[in-house]
Amino acid sequence: MDAAAPTTPLEPTARTRVNRGRNRAVTDRAALLELLGDGLVAHLGVQVGDHPLVLPTAYAVDADGPDAEGTLYLHGSVAAHWLRSSMEATVCVTVTELDGLVAGRSAFHHSMNYRSAVVIGTARAVEDAAERRHALDLIVDHMLPGRSATLRASTRKELAATAVLAVPLREASMKARAGDPVDEDGDVAAGVWGGHLPVRRVIDAPVPAADNLPCAALPDHLLRRPTA
């Protein structure tokens, strides 16, 4: 994520407003940006012909991007039909982080601790060369912080084969759940164990490619990728 987070509150529109479980709605835009910073995979929903399609994609956020509330960048191949269908169309992008498994004292009260975001907006095809390079660098650095500065510049052929979509973060909502199960008093009194099992992402030590040259030292930035 680039630069400081906007201080404006998160104010969902009619399309993104949380209706069920409103007590779990998050209205702090900084929390939304923190979630988008923690996540690694976004799911993009788009109408393709006569049916909807949801696909995973890499992404990054520029909190000080061209859109007032921040810009969400997605990328894919220009040959992908789903991506062409997304350009200048209304799309839905979701990001979810699983933080725990909740063991209730009844099947009904089993749940998950999570943070999830929904973004709806018109996907803009990024045509400006400087913005495209910036967005692609952000996507690489979102996955592996500091990586883009160590790479050669993308070739014209590579850039021509890569499409970048920009979705404004204006229409967005977030929900979160944390902590213990919410059980019936009678079920608690029965003495069945309840609680939650924290879940976190673990990134193991880097595995070198088989064709690395002897001079190819492991860069420090690959050792600094945080877990979540």
Chain segment 126-174, per-residue pLDDT in tens? 999 899 999 999 999 999 999 999 999 999 899 888 889 999 999 999 9
Count the neighbouring beta carbons within 10 Å of the beta carbon of residue 144. Answer: 15
- Alpha carbon separation from 8 to 5, 63, 128, 134 (Å, rounded): 9, 11, 27, 24
pLDDT tier at 45, thresholds 50, 70, 90: very high
Residue 23, pLDDT score: 78
Residue 6, pLDDT score: 47
Q: What domains sit in the chain, N to C, each tagged with a CATH number? A: 22-182+194-223 (2.30.110.10)
In sequence order, the β-bridge partners of residue 102 are: 111, 196
- Provide the whole-model pTM: 0.87
Using CA of residue 137, residue 142, residue 147, residue 151, what is the dihedral sign? negative
pLDDT tier at 210, thresholds 50, 70, 90: very high
Residue 3, pLDDT score: 44
69-112 per-position pLDDT tens digit: 899 999 888 777 777 777 778 999 999 999 999 999 999 999 99
Q: Tell me whether strands 59-62 and 195-198 are parallel, antiparallel or unpaired.
A: unpaired
